[in-house]
A = this chain, B = another copy of it.
């Protein structure tokens, strides 16, 4: 058993999390959340999304959020930029890192972003070109890597093909997402083994949903495969509204608890993280999705 000594956590709560919560929250509350997450020691925070507020009202005000957060040197503040218009808005807001996303399943791509996988990849080419010109780095997401709500199981070779394209066009890292949370540890390991033949292992990240309670087991399986970057969401905020039964990104607190137990360094402070989660759950009026936070409250 050889585990990494350091893991980088990519906090997706302010974007992937809040985007999938029922009601939008104020710019003030978003800024406070991002600042709290910075204070907790996270090195990467996905802050917002540059999409039309008509489609995603929860992400309105992302430019203002970027203008007002306290940026800490060395911390990456990312934003989703699904198209060139969004990319330009992001750059105008001072964003230095954007993310693009594709699906590993044709049916999910069609229903989620209204185009085929190859069409979605083609749309990223002008974003990649513009990013190079502006010195902006680009992270790629692939969804449905362990299952699709419409197609069922997804072949690891299909995930590898999409990840390879994203990496080849210039994404410095590709995050592989179990969007509907149906993956289990063996399938997770096989998927990373297959994909790492196309994209170097150190350029891959794992993004797990806890819908079926498998997220931490899959994350541990990924560590055993040498994966060292993981996406997670404070208090388990969000999910994916387009995927049946897809409730809940894995909670950052629970991931950190496991990594702490494994002696893996992240630079993140669990107590501060739990406080950040309590605060945003108060704003949203929802119960935390973190078991660690619940246990601490009960203890």
A91-105 to B contact mask, C-beta < 8 Å, 1/0: 000000000000000
Closest to A3 in B: B186
CB within 8 Å for A185 and B291 given contacts A254-B213, A299-B245? no
- A251 beta carbon closer than 8 Å to chain B: yes
Closest to A223 in B: B185
Partner of A216, one of B181, B213, B224, B261: B213
- A62 beta carbon closer than 8 Å to chain B: no
Closest to A186 in B: B262
Distance, CA A220 to CA B222, complexed state (A): 12
**Best-buried of A244, A254, A291 by chain B (most CB within 10 Å):** A291
Copies in the complex: 2
CB within 8 Å for A184 and B261 given contacts A1-B189, A216-B216, A254-B213? yes
Q: What residues of chain B lie closer than 8 Å to A228, measured between beta carbons?
A: none
A145 to chain B, nearest CB (A): 14
Asked if B213 contacts A214 (CB within 8 A), the reply is no
How many A residues face the partner with a CB closer than 8 A?
39
A193-231 to B contact mask, C-beta < 8 Å, 1/0: 000000000000000001111101101110010000000
CB within 8 Å for A295 and B247 given contacts A213-B257, A254-B212? yes
- A292 beta carbon closer than 8 Å to chain B: yes
Asked if A213 contacts B247 (CB within 8 A), the reply is no
CB within 8 Å for A214 and B216 given contacts A185-B258, A189-B1, A261-B184? yes
Q: What residues of chain B lie closer than 8 Å to A214, measured between beta carbons?
A: 216, 254, 257-258, 261
Partner of A213, one of B1, B187, B211, B290: B290
Closest to A181 in B: B295
Q: What residues of chain B lie closer than 8 Å to A258, measured between beta carbons?
A: 184-185, 213-214, 217
- A183 beta carbon closer than 8 Å to chain B: yes
Distance, CA A184 to CA B185, complexed state (A): 16
- A267 beta carbon closer than 8 Å to chain B: no
Q: What residues of chain B lie closer than 8 Å to A245, measured between beta carbons?
A: 295-296, 298-299
Beyond the given pairs A212-B295, A213-B291, A245-B295, 11 more chain A to chain B contacts, judged by CB atoms under 8 angstroms and listed by A's residue number, are A211-B291, A212-B291, A213-B251, A213-B254, A213-B290, A214-B257, A216-B216, A217-B219, A220-B220, A220-B221, A245-B298
Q: 23 A-B pairs, CB-CB below 8 angstroms?
A: A1-B224, A184-B258, A184-B260, A184-B262, A185-B258, A186-B261, A186-B263, A210-B213, A212-B291, A213-B216, A213-B251, A213-B290, A213-B292, A214-B257, A214-B258, A214-B261, A216-B216, A217-B220, A217-B258, A220-B221, A244-B299, A247-B295, A247-B298
